[in-house]
Structure 1
Amino acid sequence: MARTRHTDKDVEAALRHAEANGWRVELGGSHAWGKIYCPYNDDECRCGEFCITSVWSTPRNGGTHAKQIRRVVDNCTTHKAEREKKNAEKD
């Protein structure tokens, strides 16, 4: 079943980016549109601090909130390590 689209186009694009990188998007939560969950949920991945991130329903600035979501997804230490490992194997 497909999830509900976010009303802000920039945030929706960031959520699609997260899903493309294996993150799970769940709707609902206290005071949030939903949450995104890291696919690894690794103890070494920044102490699990960023393995769950809230997605606001009406952010003050949708573009900034979208950048924050992308930053969390792109800076996942476990994902970065796997990406670097694949790049090293190609070389």
Structure 2
Amino acid sequence: MNREILLELDDLLLAERELTGLLAAIQADEREARMLYARLQDWKGQSALLLRDEIEVFFTEIARRIQDIEQQKRVLVQYVQEMKRVDGAS
């Protein structure tokens, strides 16, 4: 029984590392997008306004998704800690 728990725990720890990597990649992409967005400030006209509005929606959505992933990671970390506690108690 104990070996099964350890294997599952290893899988969960791998998932935590993968979430960390995903967050880092998304945040790096967001920084790059913000640098590109800053270049658009010189653009004028209706199409520039529409593009800026669309990009701002993108930034809002990416921020929401980052928060969702961070929340999922927090829940995963809490679950891993609980598994370690329960495994140590048996």
TM range (shorter): 0.3 to 0.5
> Larger helix proportion, structure 1 or 2?
2
Larger relative contact order (Cα-Cα within 8 Å, sequence gap ≥ 6): 2
> Larger strand proportion, structure 1 or 2?
1
